[in-house]
Amino acid sequence: MIILASSSARRRQLLGEWGIKFKICSPKVAEHSRYKRPHLVVQDIARKKVLAVAERYPKKIILGADTVVVRSARNGPRIIGKPENIGQAKKFLQLLSGTVHRVYTGVAVWSPSGKVYTDYALSRVKIKKIPREMLDSLAAKHLDKAGAYAVQEKNDLLVEKVWGDYYNVVGLPGQLTRKLLKKVQRLSSVK
């Protein structure tokens, strides 16, 4: 059994679907990073999450993740996390409307030996043009999700296309997560 360092319902659902036994311990960490590059930001925050939970469960395998949406801008990439309120969610949706953007998820796994293994996944997503009259209702729906949208919501219909790992866009890249967990489980059994 592993410890999931997350309060995300989507991550819990995915682990359950993949047959991975887990216990939840939501970390209390600031989701800010000293890094500017998206792939480093998500790995740094995922690492902080597992380190916070490792203080309580140092001899367990701990899984943490962090997801951001990144929109290209003239002055460099714009990292979009979870909106703080409905107004910010509306701005995020306006920014993403009719565009292709990137979704990064950093995954970190704590080994009982005291090491943290991290990696990240990158997917691209095309969002349909969002009519102005829909912005208010959509903005209120997904305040707990990076970019203020949910690819897994069947009736959202915002996402036109996903390139790369679909589960990365949901919040936990399947292949990468399994690879890191297997690596730590293998290293933990060889002493």
Task: Give catalytic residue positions.
Answer: 66
Q: How many other C-beta atoms can be found within 10 angstroms of the C-beta atom of residue 129?
A: 9
Question: Would you give the DSSP letter of residue 147?
Answer: G
H helices of 18-162, in order, are 38-54, 86-96, 132-139
Q: Are 65 and 102 in contact (CB under 8 A)?
A: no
**Separation of alpha carbons 88 and 140, rounded Å:** 10
